[in-house]
Amino acid sequence: MPENEKLSAIKDRELVEKRRTQMVKGAMKLFKEKGFHRTTTREIAKEAGFSIGTLYEYIRKKEDVLFFVVDAIYDQVRSRLREAMDLQYAPAENLVKVTEAYFILMDEMQEEVLIMYQEVKSLNKESLDYVLQKERDMVDMLKNVIIDCLPQNLSTTDAELLANNIFVQGQMWGFRRWMLQKQFTLKEYIERQLTYLKYTLHIPI
Amino acid sequence: MPENEKLSAIKDRELVEKRRTQMVKGAMKLFKEKGFHRTTTREIAKEAGFSIGTLYEYIRKKEDVLFFVVDAIYDQVRSRLREAMDLQYAPAENLVKVTEAYFILMDEMQEEVLIMYQEVKSLNKESLDYVLQKERDMVDMLKNVIIDCLPQNLSTTDAELLANNIFVQGQMWGFRRWMLQKQFTLKEYIERQLTYLKYTLHIPI
Amino acid sequence: MPENEKLSAIKDRELVEKRRTQMVKGAMKLFKEKGFHRTTTREIAKEAGFSIGTLYEYIRKKEDVLFFVVDAIYDQVRSRLREAMDLQYAPAENLVKVTEAYFILMDEMQEEVLIMYQEVKSLNKESLDYVLQKERDMVDMLKNVIIDCLPQNLSTTDAELLANNIFVQGQMWGFRRWMLQKQFTLKEYIERQLTYLKYTLHIPI
Amino acid sequence: MPENEKLSAIKDRELVEKRRTQMVKGAMKLFKEKGFHRTTTREIAKEAGFSIGTLYEYIRKKEDVLFFVVDAIYDQVRSRLREAMDLQYAPAENLVKVTEAYFILMDEMQEEVLIMYQEVKSLNKESLDYVLQKERDMVDMLKNVIIDCLPQNLSTTDAELLANNIFVQGQMWGFRRWMLQKQFTLKEYIERQLTYLKYTLHIPI
DNA sequence: TATGAATGAGCATTCATTCAT
DNA sequence: AATGAATGAATGCTCATTCAT
């Protein structure tokens, strides 16, 4: 968020960070259980371990909590995705490793991803743009990994679309769990999706 | 909805149907604009063309409106998907036609699909199960079309997963429009996704 | 208030009138006791005899209550002032009678006048303009009565200023009661102020 | 204020004085802009140049700030009025000079006078009495000047009432500015009011 | 059947005041 | 003396739901 700084009346930056962490942790739990709209600011404050008055020393509006939560989720996903990309392999192997890591990550963060999908619309335009840019960045990371494996008949534009496909396939493991997780184990799911991807990219199985 | 019947105090079935149609139409418009939580029952009644008192003759809780809306969306998608499947072609051709039709449909119903994704969590367990069953049915329809084109190395389980992939790729055209619709026209999007699908299914381009 | 109509969600005009009367009566009592800011909307509703929800069916914001109260006060003053002017006397006599009536009126409405003086600043610009116009109208009424008694050396501009003087002298009987009402009875106060006025206008005592 | 001393926990009298001056200056500015109720203690502290904690070292309740502000206004008016009275003229001339000075003063202090009129009711009884006594003192000063010009047919009681009239006419220049300052310049206003006063007191023009 | 006035629990947000440092 | 983080009671306002007509 651009004017991150102005959001809090508290001067001690470290304290702000600490309280925000408490807040995000508490709010995340509640949002998972009942969604943003059904969670009250009082509940958030209580779950975070401080009073409603204190909560409002660190935010201006309830919506700010949502922003901090969504932002934290994105950061978490991104940092873990980066880790996976730091291990350098040969292009095809790298794609497999990164995709696997991403799918495993999405499995672990199912609830958080659901929050993003269902509540993001409650953010204001500015926060939304900010957050969507983070998503674009992550897709770009995936895209670059794909580009390294691109066969001659596919372009970087294809890489972009395929990155989106993988991205959404990772998310769908969580938000379609009622359908997918009855049919597949995570391992099976990953294997099959990777197989389809390899066919598409003409990578030998 | 299982106890569809109990929902309304009104006896005249036709009237009930008429009022529900009005209600769904009005509510859909409002949900598209501001989501379920931000829409009030008063607004729904007004948009539907009757009073708040009358609205409550046809529902018991605000949530019922959401159910009717989501149900109507599913029915709409399903019936249009059926139409597309009624035209019989050779298996591979059929898959292409049905997928194309589905993607075009998802393009037209972007807003409605967004409602489903974002508000479904507000349904109670019973309604949710009912609605998810409809989604399963539709995935099954797609799955069957895929099965007819399945190469030897893929199983019906793969068909199921691929059906899910297509299903979500259709939806993602709408809910990731901020990313996809800047890069692709609908036609391009469909062509590319079909190409990847063909590679996966070993259908010659 | 210009868009008086839009202020209420209730359709029955008569009921609106009735409820507003209740509301104004209750609010006036509370404002006299503790002022606008110290009075809560809940107290207003209770004093008016209905629930907080009902109160908000008849207003949009707390400030609207203040407007209705101030408006009612002005209307009351104006209508009683009109009555006094309807009795036709000779010019000088008329001025005396009207001024007397006005002072008596101000004595009776001390509390209400205090509300006007102390709370009017809480009205928004539009309401304030509307209300000040009413005050101008009343001053004009007084001015016209004075004009009929004007000696040669005074102009209509003087009449306007003298009208303002009388107007404020009437109000000051209430808001400076802690000083004036210890020294003078109302009768004495009126007599003396009239005497000074007669000297100024060269009316023989 | 009677227990002026008890109000602050700070021992150093000079410091107390300095802080109060800062506080009054800042609060006055804010009260002019938005009134007492709409100004928060935080804003007052900030405008005064210290922290909210420090503010509360020099007051006990928010209301105390109002008292200090009103008290300061009264002192300012009184001291300037005294200055004007120190220049000794002949009685009639003196009255004119003092009244002129008072009107000019009221013109300069319009905003402050408005604060007094509109917020004084928020003071507690004790502070109110204290403050009203100051107003009485000032009226007395004016009264004495009038007494020196009194014609035979008017008593000291008349002098008191006429002092009140002048007093309020000075204030009304500010609080009825929306009406008066469109019709008159300050000079015109003063001239006319003085003329009426002279007629009343039988002072030759 | 239809209406819409009434209700009040519930919510986000504010702000005077305190107190440990 | 000064600071500013913490508190929570208080408040304006909303809105799903009911029910008398």
Q: Please say whether the beta carbons of A78 and A85 come within 8 A.
A: no
* Residue C1: pLDDT band with limits 50, 70, 90: very low
Cβ of C132 less than 7 A from strand E: no
Distance D122 CA to E19 C1' (A): 28
* Residue among A116, A143, A179 with most chain B CBs within 10 A, to mutate: A179
Cβ of residue D192 near strand E, that is under 7 Å? no
Query: What pLDDT score was predicted for residue C5?
Result: 52
Q: What is the mean pLDDT of residues A135-163?
A: 96
Which residue lies nearest F10, CA-to-C1' measured?
C40
Cβ contact, residue pair C196, D200, below 8 Å = yes
Q: CATH assignment of B4-201?
A: 1.10.357.10
Residues making up chain D, counted from first to last = 205
CATH fold label, C7-60: Arc Repressor Mutant, subunit A (1.10.10)
pLDDT of D202 above 80: yes
**Chain C environment of D164 (Cβ under 8 Å):** 172, 176, 179-180
The pLDDT confidence band at residue C6, using thresholds 50, 70 and 90, is low
Concatenating the DSSP letter of every residue in C142-192 gives HHHHHHTT--TT--HHHHHHHHHHHHHHHHHHHHTHHHHHHH--HHHHHHH
Rounded Cα gap, residues D75 and D171, in angstroms: 16
Query: Which single residue has its CA nearest the C1' atom of nucleotide E14?
Result: A53
| Burial class for B160, CB neighbours closer than 10 Å (0-12, 13-18, 19+) | buried
pLDDT tens across B44-56, in order? 999 999 999 999 9
A/B touch flag: 3 or more CB pairs below 8 Å: yes
pLDDT bin (cut points 50, 70, 90) of residue B4 is low
Least confident of A56-60, B119-123, B178-182, D55-59: B119-123
Whether D200 and C202 lie within 8 Å, measured CB to CB: no
Report yes or no: A164 and B160 within 8 Å, Cβ to Cβ.
no
Binary contact (B196, A122; C-beta < 8 A)? no
The string of pLDDT tens digits covering residues B94-122 is 999 999 999 999 999 999 999 998 999 99
Q: Is the CB of D49 within 7 Å of strand F?
A: no
Which residues in chain A are closer than 8 Å to B172, comparing Cβ atoms?
164, 168
Compute the distance between CA of residue B26 and CA of residue B44 in angstroms, rounded to an integer: 6
Chain E nucleotides covered by protein, CB below 7 Å? 1-20
Interface list for chain B against chain A, based on CB atoms closer than 8 Å:
35, 37, 114, 117-119, 121-122, 132, 135-136, 139, 157-158, 160-162, 164-165, 168-169, 172, 175-176, 178-180, 183-184, 189, 192-193, 196, 199-200, 202
Confidence of residue C155 (pLDDT cuts 50, 70, 90): very high
Give the nearest partner residue to D168 out of C136, C168, C178, using CB atoms.
Answer: C168
Answer yes or no: are the C-beta atoms of C164 and D179 closer than 8 Å. yes
C46 touches strand F (CB under 7 A): no
Q: What is the structure's pLDDT at A66? A: 97
Contact B136 A179 (CB under 8 A): yes
Tens-digit pLDDT profile for residues C48-101: 999 999 999 999 999 999 999 999 999 999 999 999 888 888 999 999 999 999
How far apart CA C9 and CA C19 sit, in angstroms, is 12
- pLDDT the model gives residue A4: 53
Whether CB of A41 is under 7 Å from strand F: the answer is: no
CA angle D84, D89, D93 (to 5 degrees): 90
Residue C197's alpha-carbon distances to B165, C99, C103, in angstroms, are 93, 10, 13
| pLDDT value of position C3 | 47
Across A139-157, average pLDDT:
96
- Whether D4 has a pLDDT exceeding 80, the answer reads no
- D180 neighbourhood in chain C, CB within 8 Å: 161, 164
H or E element: which one contains B201?
helix B186-201
Nearest nucleotide by C1' from B54 CA? E2
- Chain C neighbours, 3+ Cβ pairs < 8 A: D
Query: Percent of chain B beyond pLDDT 90?
Result: 89
CA–CA dist C103, C192 (Å, integer): 12
Largest CA distance in chain C: 61
Tokens encoding A203: 């990578």
* Per-residue pLDDT, B117: 86
List, for residues D149-171, the tens digit of each pLDDT value: 999 999 999 999 999 999 999 99
pLDDT at position A1 is 47
Among residues of chain A, what percentage have pLDDT more than 90?
A: 89
Q: Which of the residues B66, B103, B121, B193 would you substitute to probe the A interface, choosing the one with the greatest number of A C-beta atoms within 10 Å?
A: B121
Model pLDDT, residue B86: 86
pLDDT at B1 over 50: no
Predicted local distance difference test score (pLDDT) of residue A6: 66
Quick one: DSSP state of residue A153?
Answer: T
Angle formed at CA A157 by CA A155 and CA A159, multiple of 5 degrees: 75
Which of D 1-30 have CB under 7 A of nucleic chain F?
Answer: 10-12, 15, 19
Residue B22: which pLDDT band, with cuts at 50, 70 and 90?
very high
**More confident of the two residues A137 and C9:** A137
Q: Which H helix or E strand runs over D81?
A: helix D62-86
Which residue is the nearest neighbor of F14, CA to C1'?
C53
In CATH, C62-205 is 3.30.530.20: no
User: pLDDT of D87-96, one tens digit each?
Assistant: 888 999 999 9
**Given this model, what pLDDT does residue C86 score?**
86
Distance between CA atoms of residues B194 and B102, nearest Å = 12
CB contact under 8 A, C176 and D168: yes
Q: Please write the tens of the pLDDT for every residue from A77-94.
A: 999 999 988 888 999 999
Decide which of A43 and A5 is more confident. Answer: A43
